[in-house]
Structure 1
Amino acid sequence: MTSTDEPRLRHVDCLGARGLHRMAYWEWGARDNPRVLVCVHGLSRQGRDFDVLARAMSDHCRVVCPDVVGRGESDRLADPSGYQIPAYVADMVTLLARLDARELNWVGTSMGGLIGLGLAALPGSPVRRLVLNDVGPAIEASALARIGSYLGVPVQWDSEAEAAAALWQISQGFGPHTPEQWLALTRPMLRRSTAADGRTVWVPHYDPAIAVPFRALTPAAAAAGEALLWQSYDALRIPTLLLRGAESDLLTARTAQQMRERGPRAELHEFPGVGHAPTLVAPEQVAVLREFLLRE
């Protein structure tokens, strides 16, 4: 079994309300390795966010990093109402069947953590270790408002550098990054497009319609969703690691403490100088994950 410097791009057909859609996933390491790690990104991100972590883990396991539908190389949905956690969980069940993974570990950032929580709480789930990166059952309304201020808003940029600068302005919570690290995180977030005047421009590599159900969320629906998430969390009986940016506006210290005391009694690790959410690029962040994921 050998590790590789670049991932393989593959696809799997998933069933939605209006038929089939293709979900892309990036695969690292040996395909025949029975040890599987699935890494799932945040709301408007994509699977290449995990390149650094995948390279660090591919000597030990097969690493699979999907582009959740509507993002990256995956299809966009005709009906935006399909952009919701239960539908994403169903897509991941299809992916796991393709992978033929009887047991696996899961790393989920923000939205990816909620998908993992939903999957891990299912009876008979193959998830054996769970990492929740800066997310829990209770999500702060102020953080949702911040994300909603830019999610799905039409934008275009004349260069990768201009795009990287603009994305950095809305991503300060990710914490310190070198210019090289940030550009590596930015490039997969962009796709080329043609402006009205014929110029080549760069635009975000996700369907703006993912914002439709996000903006339709009512306080009552949010409260009901939080109750269901706590129910799922309390049902977990697997080793769980909770990562938190010490300055996070989405996962509060109070919620993190509750997660230490309830359900699987998550092991908590905070990263100073970081908000929402740690990108798992810095060596010290990767080291924390490797220690937990490789623990016997």
Structure 2
Amino acid sequence: MTSQPVLRFVDCPGAPGAPRGEQPAGAGHRMAYWEWNETGDAHHPHVVLCVHGLTRQGRDFDELARRLAGRARVICPDVVGRGHSDWLQDPAGYGVPLYAFDMLGLLTALHAEAPIATLDWVGTSMGGLIGIALCGQTGLPLPAPVRKLVLNDVGPVLEWPALERIGQYLGRPLRFATVEEGAAALWLLSSSFGPHSPEAWHALSEPMLRPAPEGGFGLHYDPAIAQAFKAMTPESAAQSEAQLWSLYDAIQADTLVLRGADSDLLTVASVVAMAGRGPKASAIEFAGVGHAPTLVDEAQSRVVADFLFGPAG
């Protein structure tokens, strides 16, 4: 039988330590997460946190999680505004600072439930930026330092043409008569993910759709996540780049960068720079893939498992 995760929830009160009345927009919401654990130990001390991209959700990691779940407790959150998590009343909260606070709250709750001795992070695109934000700040009350960090097709430099491309479809109120129609439409938007079998693409697409009140299906995420994204300018992106490099340079975790060979978001030059500074990341490139590798392909998931657990993983 194919293993399945358990859907759980955590309350996210907002920024740890911020006084009441000074919480960021979006304080007080519930975040969903998917837990995989086939170790036989409900309190396994090794946690791998897998965090998805901008318009995605935690079930993106199903195939990778199945591969890892026999060796660790694998946690795949739905970032707020996505999947089964709450939508924010104030869209101004949608951004990496709040997402990072939420992940810190999730890890705190997991640690209280079962002490975390080893912590690894796998982040695709936005999920990688959240990982950089947490790993690059010293003094955060993480239950354990991040030991290994996987940055999947993302780094401190976000190419502006790629951001413009994403902004063209982000937040559009799409409706589909059937799941099959929705999967076909998503393929048109996401063909850069690289080749997938029809079965694999259907499995990736089904969690991306939710029944619409007026019938049919819509996308799983709050269209309001587009507001902050579309407010970016080349100038603000350049300012963010400087901040991200500062965070990246402070990372102590053993870091692996994955890149789709045809990616328009992460360039070869950026990967070379990441290999030469900060944690001096190692890098692996996947041919025939753009932004971003889904880690569904056996060869892609094996790379991640080998990095986390060694070649026998």
TM normalised by structure 2 equals 0.90
**What is residue 9 of structure 2 aligned with on the other side?**
11
Q: Deviations over 1:192-248 (max 9, x none)?
A: 0132xxxx2110000000000000112222111100100011111221000000000
Matches within 5 A, 1:1-296: 5-16=3-14, 17-29=25-37, 30-100=41-111, 101-124=116-139, 125=142, 126-195=145-214, 200-295=215-310
Uncovered stretches (5+) of structure 1, i.e. residues with no partner: none
Residue 103 of structure 1: how far off its partner (Å): 3.2
- SS of the aligned residue for 1:149 comes to helix
Distance 2:75 2:198 in 1: 26
Residue 172 of structure 1: how far off its partner (Å): 1.1
Distance 2:159 2:63 in 1: 29
- SS of the aligned residue for 2:84 comes to coil
TM normalised by structure 1 equals 0.95
Q: Deviations over 1:100-144 (max 9, x none)?
A: 034300000000000011111122452111000000000011101
Residue 19 of structure 1: how far off its partner (Å): 3.8
Distance 2:7 2:289 in 1: 31
Higher alpha-carbon deviation: 243-252 or 101-110: 101-110
- Shift of the 287–19 alpha-carbon distance from structure 1 to 2, 3 Å rule, reads closer
Distance 1:19 1:244 in 2: 34
- SS of the aligned residue for 2:33 comes to strand
- SS of the aligned residue for 2:227 comes to helix
- How many residue pairs match? The answer is 290
Higher alpha-carbon deviation: 3-12 or 153-162: 3-12
The aligned amino acid for 2:263 is S
Q: Stretches of 4+ moved more than 6 A in 1? A: none
Distance 2:204 2:26 in 1: 32
The aligned amino acid for 2:195 is P
Residue 8 of structure 1: how far off its partner (Å): 0.6
Q: Deviations over 1:245-294 (max 9, x none)?
A: 00000001110111111111111000000000000000000110111000
Conservation of the 8 A alpha-carbon contact between 2:26 and 2:91: no
Distance 2:306 2:27 in 1: 41
What is the root-mean-square deviation of aligned Cα atoms in Å?
1.4
% identity of equivalent residues: 57
Conservation of the 8 A alpha-carbon contact between 1:107 and 1:130: yes
The aligned amino acid for 1:276 is H
- SS of the aligned residue for 2:216 comes to strand
Uncovered stretches (5+) of structure 2, i.e. residues with no partner: 15-24
Conservation of the 8 A alpha-carbon contact between 1:4 and 1:58: no
Distance 2:26 2:60 in 1: 29
Q: Deviations over 1:130-177 (max 9, x none)?
A: 000000000011101110000001110001111001000010110000
